[in-house]
A and B are shown apart, each in its own frame.
Chain A
Amino acid sequence: GQQLNQSPQSMFIQEGEDVSMNCTSSSIFNTWLWYKQDPGEGPVLLIALYKAGELTSNGRLTAQFGITRKDSFLNISASIPSDVGIYFCAGSLETSGSRLTFGEGTQLTVNP
């Protein structure tokens, strides 16, 4: 089945620093989604990407859908303590109604 390789697995940064994480796949995905999950809670959708090459921002978050449709990255600028959590990339083979395949997650720790 499809696999998403997400890196890094964990990051320890100082408040105010910028963060970058990415996902790669051996398969083509037609939709890339980025989620944030707090312990014991459900994943919260951050950004959705639907077109190869698409660059989308949501406040301090910026994500891009790779041209090859096999990768995506998420950047967080000027990190703050509430950015702490696990960030997951997820890919879908279809543009709607299809299962999501998740990356392994990036655990982000922000030191005040």
Chain B
Amino acid sequence: AAGVIQSPRHLIKEKRETATLKCYPIPRHDTVYWYQQGPGQDPQFLISFYEKMQSDKGSIPDRFSAQQFSDYHSELNMSSLELGDSALYFCASSNRGAQETQYFGPGTRLLVL
């Protein structure tokens, strides 16, 4: 079965640079979620989109923005990167018409030097 696809899997950036993370949800899933997981931490919700509209916003820095496109893929844009942004970034997808079952992608490991 098709799963959530994330790219790139690994990313190394310098401080103050920008990064773009991409997420391709499971086919026919209409909702995308972004989570950030620091070392030894649990995933923290950042933002979600339903039918290309922002549906919920969590602890996402103002330096970050995201959007969902007409093909339902989503991109997380991160600017003015800081050392503390180094983390695993996960995308999850679900079908809002179905019961809550979020499926996670393999994640993007971001390292800011």
26 contacts between A and B (CB under 8 A): A31-B100, A33-B100, A33-B101, A33-B102, A35-B104, A40-B107, A42-B106, A42-B107, A43-B43, A45-B102, A48-B100, A50-B99, A88-B43, A95-B100, A96-B96, A96-B97, A97-B31, A97-B48, A98-B56, A99-B33, A100-B35, A100-B43, A100-B102, A101-B45, A103-B42, A105-B42
B residues bordering A, Cβ < 8 Å? 4, 31, 33, 35, 42-45, 48, 50, 55-56, 58, 88, 90, 92, 94, 96-107, 109
A65 contacts the other chain (Cβ, under 8 Å)?
no
- Chain A residue nearest to B6 in the complex (CB): A42
Contacts of A45 in B (CB 8 A): 101-104
- Chain A residue nearest to B95 in the complex (CB): A96
Contact at B58–A102, with CB atoms within 8 Å?
no
> C-beta contact mask, A18-51 vs B, less than 8 Å → 1, else 0?
0000000000000101010000111111001010
Contact at B99–A31, with CB atoms within 8 Å?
yes
- Bound form: Cα–Cα A67–B105 in Å: 31
- Bound form: Cα–Cα A41–B92 in Å: 13
Residues of A90-110 contacting chain B, CB below 8 A: 92, 94-105
Given contacts A42-B107, A50-B99, A98-B56, 13 further A-B contacts (CB under 8 A): A35-B104, A40-B88, A41-B106, A45-B104, A48-B100, A95-B100, A96-B98, A97-B31, A99-B45, A99-B58, A100-B92, A102-B43, A104-B42
